[in-house]
Structure 1
Amino acid sequence: MNIDKNIKNKKQELLSYFRDRATEFLTQIKTKFADTQSDKRARAINEALNQTKNNLITTLLQQAEKDKWTNQEKLEAILMITYCNIVVMIESRNSVRPYEYMDFSRRVGELWDPFCKLCFYYPVNNISLFVPPLFSEVKKKMTDEITDYIDNLTISDEEKQELKRYYDKVWSLVSSGEIQLELDLHFSHNDQKYVVDFKSGFGSNEKGNTNRLLLVATIYQNLDDNYKCLLFVRAQENNSYFNTLKNSGIWEAYCGNEAYQKISEYSGYNLKQWTETNIDWASDFNAETTQHLTNNNLLQYLLW
């Protein structure tokens, strides 16, 4: 496999490369795991193909550094490598454990998130990633501020201790453990910090996740660094949970084409145009996979 800037146009060559690798891997995997261990076979082929993809990208980035590729040139090459890898991963997984509705819809969502994030890892615009704060750090900072405030009140020591006990009770109500402030993506653009959550769509059982996102965004809103919380959802149609977040005043929520527009606005790259130009699931899958997905009405979940 020759790695150069033109790899962004070598879909068929990349598909053939990944399929040949998959054939090699499956030969080994089937000797290691029995027919009854289809879940282990599926996991093994996914891991092997992801490693192959990572090896290709590592080689590409080394070549890109040497030849001084632009971020857009790197991004378009990596998008094509990633897409072709996804196609063959779905084919290979389906060959050892045929997809059903729940597995497939969930898997498509899992793959969309990291695919979109590539635009921010190799941005056209001048953005930079940052490490999100730890909840323990945020809690300590807030606690120290409140403690200092209480200590300076003109009240008795007993009353100060009582206020501190009530404050501790509030924290115990907020969480029984650590709150995860790390979301899917964290970047800075024009001196503004953004935290981003990607979702494939909102199901009928999203109350807990919605409440978690509201809590996380509320914490970010109360930090000094002036964070903005963005929600990008793949599905065009969503339910009341999405609307709850959209109307909360603390999440800027976008779905479908609006989400792609915002990805383009912040990263500087039109990912929607790339998908419309390069992605053709039904034609890119092998015949066996396309037939299975068609027969089981699963192609509808591949609307990227």
Structure 2
Amino acid sequence: MQVIPLMLDKNEILLRLHSRLAPSVERISKLALTHQQKAQQVNALVAEERDNLSASILQMWEVDRGTAALVIQYCCTVAGLEYRHQVWPYEYMAFSRRIGELWEAFCRTAWTYPADTTVVRMDAPNFAEVRKALLQRITANLGTHDKAKEVMTDVSTLFEIVGEINMKEDEVFRKADIPYVIDFKSGFGSNEKGNMLRLLTVGRAYHIWDHRTKLMLLVRQDENNNYLKVLRRSNLWEVYTGADTYKKIEEITGADIQLVRDEVIDWRDDLSDGFYRYLKNQPTDLTSYLVW
């Protein structure tokens, strides 16, 4: 197992972030702006600090870069949550949604500097490519059938009914020339029926585009709704939850995300006491979303 790069001390990074962000956030909090406008300014400041910290990554050995990026992303997540809360206190829905975004960003960082050099991000295919591949397949199978023209007219009508399918997913990449598609979810609750149906449609479209495509759903929570079981039974998507999600990320990218979980992530210690108590004392204990 790797060790955390010596130049990346979590406490030093957090001290730097607090020293740089605190004065600016105090100034923003006094501006005659809406809560949303203040939050946007805070988020922009955190993103700028993250970019500044990340500039040092390219000076490291390649094997250390993925782990370093994860440490930086976590520290900026801590700071981002803390300072956004100061200008716009979190309520349940806003916090759960934001954690989903930040957890996905943390995981996706492993693809930015993969230790496995065969992992290369790629653009998602356009649905027009899928439609073309399927039409060519149907045309070839029909051959000179006397109803071929009528069948193709019906197929075209079906495509018009279906409309365009957005093939964009959280991570689309090749690993040793095999296409992979990753969808991240913080949790799969009772409101995920629409997302389940979308994933089934997108999965089938990817298999038409390239039958070798590996489809993976990576979920933060262990406990999830029945819709996730439907996806598992579909045999389209490989589904991983909780600790298995991080094992799969390591397996794919080579980034030592488990080391970061064990040695770096400590929300109780890294968030201020006041903010942590605020999350803990909400009608729904929001610290449950900090189980990373």
Whether TM-score is above 0.5 comes out as yes
| Counterpart position of 1:180 | 166
After TM superposition, give the deviation of residue 86 of structure 1 in Å: 0.7
Q: Is 1:60 the counterpart of 2:59 in the alignment? A: no
Of 267, 284, 289 in structure 1, the residue corresponding to residue 253 of structure 2 is 267
Which whole-Å CA distance do the structure 2 matches of 1:109 and 1:48 have between them? Answer: 20
After TM superposition, give the deviation of residue 192 of structure 1 in Å: 2.1
- Check the 8 A contact 1:261/1:270 in 2, yes or no: no
Give the letter aligned to residue 42 of structure 1: A
| Counterpart position of 1:204 | 190
- The structure whose Rg is larger is 1
Of 99, 123, 126 in structure 2, the residue corresponding to residue 131 of structure 1 is 123
Q: Is 1:48 the counterpart of 2:36 in the alignment? A: no
Which whole-Å CA distance do the structure 2 matches of 1:181 and 1:223 have between them? Answer: 10
- Check the 8 A contact 2:67/2:257 in 1, yes or no: no
After TM superposition, give the deviation of residue 270 of structure 1 in Å: 3.3
Of 147, 152, 155 in structure 2, the residue corresponding to residue 164 of structure 1 is 152
- Check the 8 A contact 2:172/2:182 in 1, yes or no: yes
Give the letter aligned to residue 241 of structure 1: Y
After TM superposition, give the deviation of residue 211 of structure 1 in Å: 0.3
The alignment's C-alpha RMSD in Å is 1.9
- Check the 8 A contact 2:121/2:172 in 1, yes or no: yes
| TM-score in terms of structure 1 length | 0.87
Give the letter aligned to residue 275 of structure 2: T
Task: Note the residue ranges of structure 1 that are not aligned, 5 or more in a row.
Answer: none
After TM superposition, give the deviation of residue 236 of structure 1 in Å: 0.7
Deviations 1:140-159 (A, max 9, x none): 33334434655x4142xxx4
Q: Is 1:25 the counterpart of 2:24 in the alignment? A: yes
Q: Is 1:278 the counterpart of 2:275 in the alignment? A: no
- Check the 8 A contact 1:230/1:253 in 2, yes or no: yes
Of 253, 264, 289 in structure 2, the residue corresponding to residue 301 of structure 1 is 289
After TM superposition, give the deviation of residue 111 of structure 1 in Å: 0.7
- Check the 8 A contact 2:57/2:68 in 1, yes or no: no
Of 226, 232, 240 in structure 1, the residue corresponding to residue 218 of structure 2 is 232
After TM superposition, give the deviation of residue 235 of structure 1 in Å: 0.2
Percent identity among equivalent residues? 34
Which whole-Å CA distance do the structure 2 matches of 1:236 and 1:40 have between them? Answer: 35
- Check the 8 A contact 1:21/1:49 in 2, yes or no: no
After TM superposition, give the deviation of residue 74 of structure 1 in Å: 1.4
- Check the 8 A contact 1:33/1:40 in 2, yes or no: no
After TM superposition, give the deviation of residue 84 of structure 1 in Å: 1.1
User: Relative CO higher for 1 or 2, CA cutoff 8 Å, sep ≥ 6?
Assistant: 2
Which whole-Å CA distance do the structure 2 matches of 1:55 and 1:270 have between them? Answer: 22
SS at match of 1:6: coil
Runs of 4+ in 1 over 3 A off after TM superposition: 30-34, 144-150
Cα 1:224–1:284 shift into 2, 3 Å: closer
| Counterpart position of 1:113 | 104
